[in-house]
A and B are shown apart, each in its own frame.
Chain A
Amino acid sequence: MEFQINTKAKKLVYALIGLGLILTIIGVATGMGDHHFKTRLLTNGLINGFFFFALGLGALFFLALQYATETGWYASVKRVIEAVAGFLPYGMGFFGIVLLAITLMDGAHIYLWMDSEIVKHDEIIQGKSAYLNPAFFWIRTIVYFATYFIFLRGFKRRSLLEDQEGGTTLHFTNYKKGALFLVFFAVFSSTSAWDWLMSIDVHWFSTLFGWYTFAGMWCSTMVVLVITTLYLKKLGHLEKVNESHIHDLGKWTFATSFLWSYLWFSQFMLIWYANIGEEVTYYQMRIENFKVLYFSMFVINFAFPMLLLMSRDAKRHAGILTTVGLIILAGHWLDVYIMVSAGSLGANAKLGFLEVGMALLLAGSFIFIILNNLTKAPLTPVNHPFLDESIHHEI
């Protein structure tokens, strides 16, 4: 209510969406003749659909984590987290449409296990078909979406109700619901990563994959939260947020970058060391077709935050946080890009107008929806039981 999208932000968002749309159209027009085009288009849909959906989901997870741990410091940035989590229904919509299109096209060479012709001649996929089949895939996807949506709606409703009623009853409900969400999320974060991303490389599997995807998602979400908070702060909102809150969000970005790097390395080193034919193909495909991108992506997501965000002052500096954050965000988008397209397109993957255009289009819509969400509720919760602690947060 207090926050209004100013004309400058509106213009920027429209410019981003417009530019994305133009580039996408150019990409579609120039790529149309290619016989990989359908796969390429849907691959792009899957990359961006998942990436932006995951940003919203990461925020929902982070919110639930704060509820379950009864954290105090975050109270004054809570509405920012809620606004980012509020993207989830839109993200689910776009992502769901992409998944539906892929299913209707028998996997579109992305999910090979959806194509009954291929499954007929492939013993390895046959062995997995009890789990990987379109019907069960959709049951799972709908269960994930429904669970996330129900929890999000509950958190949002209670958060706004708390502003009016106060007291601790709602707080304890949130505490229980947050813990319950984490139980669901612990399972779903892994299985949904298998379903949506790992099954693209259908012959390959890794038990680490779920955490790896989750860590990337968490890190990207923290970047979005930091940048949104800094943006609001710059406009003079969120007067209760001090340097220590920014520092804490910066620490989360720093820490989750390491979590991601740690899991990336663990997965890579174990497979490299064991050198088993079935397992190394995953990395061989990536090194053959994406060598520079793949390793520079790792350097961006690991070395950048490590070197630039290590010092205390850097984590309190808006300029450094925003710059490094945007680079990490691009790095994690690249991570998802390689995760999806190395399996679906392989050597035919390109990083052209279509890829960049669609990413910009989705990014523009994402920013617009978040800004719009921010206008819908007071930026500081009034009756949060830990608000006082948050205001006096000092580290």
Chain B
Amino acid sequence: MSDKVIYVMYDDDGALKDGAKKLVSKGVKINEVFSPFPIHGIDPIIGVKNTRLGIMAFVYGLTGTTLATIGMRYFMVVDWPMNIGGKPNFSYLENMLAFIPITFEFTVLCAAHGMAITYLLRNKTLPGIPAQNPDPRTTDDKFVMEIRMSENHSVSEEELDGLLKDTGYIELDKKEVK
């Protein structure tokens, strides 16, 4: 199925945001926005769903807590009971306090790494994967809005051009994709 993609470039995040607001109010669906930094408040305008990364962070953290507890119990209590500073570790529970810092650290380690790797995988931005942004200038100081014609049946291309003209873009690029 062939599709027509319109890339609209702005040199100001405020202009893009106002433009997006105007387009969405006319029923235009904006597929994606590329920008060098997060634009505050753009998500609800273009209808990006809330990220589920937070839930994953909790799961990764819980994994860390569990692994740390199992590991330390085995190393310090079961396999070879360690006596440190006159505190013999025959019981994990009674010496819980001593294990809390490591449990905490390992929880944070797992949550942070898990989140970072998930983020990179989900966005397909692992090292070596080709970049997805339409224009390298969006990593510098330009902002691009991507509109797909296949998602916009209610507006014709001419109407869209008219609407876009009012938003004050600096460049417009149309591409046929397969």
Contacts and interface: CB of A to CB of B under 8 A. Distances in A.
Interface of A: 265, 268-269, 272-275, 394-395
B97 A269 contact: yes
18 contacts: A265-B100, A268-B97, A269-B97, A269-B98, A269-B100, A269-B101, A272-B97, A273-B85, A273-B87, A273-B97, A273-B98, A274-B85, A275-B85, A275-B86, A275-B87, A394-B40, A394-B41, A395-B40
Contacts of B85: 273-275
Interface size class of B (residues with CB under 8 A): under 10
A269 B95 CA distance: 10
Contacts of A275: 85-87
Nearest to A268: B97
Contacts of B97: 268-269, 272-273
A273 B99 CA distance: 11
B76 to A, nearest CB: 14
A196 B40 CA distance: 46
Interface of B: 40-41, 85-87, 97-98, 100-101
A213 to B, nearest CB: 22
Given A269-B97, A269-B100, 11 more contacts: A268-B97, A269-B98, A269-B101, A272-B97, A273-B85, A273-B97, A273-B98, A275-B85, A275-B86, A394-B41, A395-B40
Contacts of A394: 40-41
Contacts of A265: 100
Nearest to B86: A275
Nearest to B97: A269
Contacts of B87: 273, 275
A325 B41 CA distance: 29
A269 B102 CA distance: 13
Contacts of A269: 97-98, 100-101
A395 B43 CA distance: 11
A39 to B, nearest CB: 33
A28 B125 CA distance: 71
A272 B87 CA distance: 10
Contacts of A273: 85, 87, 97-98
A249 B162 CA distance: 44
The 8 closest A-B CB pairs, nearest first, are A269-B97, A394-B41, A272-B97, A394-B40, A273-B98, A273-B85, A275-B86, A269-B100
Contacts of B98: 269, 273
The CB with the most chain B CB atoms within 10 A, among A272, A273, A274, A275, is that of A273
Contacts of B40: 394-395
